[in-house]
Amino acid sequence: MDVEIMRELLARHEAEPHVTVSEYVSRLTAELAASMEGKRRLYLDTRYWVILRDAAMGRPRTSEHTEILARLRDLVSAGRAICPISDVALMETLKQSDVSTRLATASLMDELGLGIALQDEQSRIRTELEHFLAHPLIHEATPPLSRVVWTKAAYALGISLPMSELLSPEQNRLIQKATVDYFWQSSLLQHLEDTAAIPSPSDESMIKTAAKITVDMRTYDHQVKSMKQAFLAEMAGVLRVFSNDIGTLLLRMHRRQFGHTDVSSEELNRARDVMTTMLYNLFRLKTDIMSQRAPSMYIYAMCHAAVRMDRTRKMSSNDLLDIHHASAVGHHDAVFTEKPLQHLLTGGNMAIDKRFNCTILWKERDLIEYLTALNSPDA
Q: What is the pLDDT of residue 198?
A: 62
Alpha helical stretches, state H, 259-348: 265-285, 287-293, 295-309, 317-326, 339-346
Whether 14 is covered by a domain: the verdict is no
pLDDT per residue over 245-282, tens digit each? 999 999 988 888 888 778 888 999 999 999 999 999 99
Of the listed ranges 44-48, 87-91, 213-217, the one predicted with least confidence: 213-217
Per-residue pLDDT, 90: 94
Would you say residue 246 lies in a domain? yes
User: What is the number of other CB atoms lying within 10 angstroms of the CB of residue 346?
Assistant: 17
Mean pLDDT across the stretch 279-305? Answer: 97
Q: What percent of the chain has pLDDT over 90?
A: 73
Domain presence at residue 308? yes
Q: Which amino acid is at 119?
A: Q
Q: Domain range holding 309?
A: 201-327
Cα-to-chain-centroid distance, residue 59: 30
Decide if 344 is inside a domain: no
The angle at the Cα of 226, spanning 221 to 229, to the nearest 5 degrees, equals 80
> Is residue 293 one of the residues assigned to a domain?
yes
The answer to whether residue 274 sits within a structural domain is yes
- In this prediction, residue 355 carries a pLDDT of 96
- Tell me the average pLDDT across 142-155: 93
Average pLDDT rounded to a whole number, residues 315-343: 94
Query: What is the predicted pLDDT for the residue at 379?
Result: 65
Residue at 92 is within a domain: no
By mean pLDDT, which of 72-86, 169-183, 244-258, 335-349 is the weakest? 244-258
Contacts of 329 (CB under 8 A, 6+ apart): 43, 295, 299, 335, 345, 352, 353, 356, 358, 360
What Rg do the C-alpha atoms of the chain give, in angstroms?
22
- Taking the C-alpha atoms of residue 111 and residue 77, their distance in angstroms, rounded to an integer, is 9
Work out the average pLDDT over 52-72.
97
- The predicted pLDDT at position 148 comes to 96
pLDDT tens per residue, range 196-217: 666 555 567 778 888 888 888 8
CA-wise closest residue to 236 among 279, 272, 198, 207? 279
| Mean pLDDT over the full length of the chain | 92
Q: Establish if 184 belongs to a structural domain.
A: no
Q: Over 90: is that where the pLDDT of 138 sits?
A: no
Strand partners, 43: 335
pTM, two decimals, is: 0.92
Please report which confidence band the pLDDT of residue 95 belongs to, taking 50, 70 and 90 as the band edges.
confident
Residue 27's pLDDT is 94
What pLDDT was estimated at residue 156?
95
Question: Number of structural domains, the chain?
Answer: 1
* pLDDT for the residue 221: 77
Q: What is the pLDDT of residue 203?
A: 64
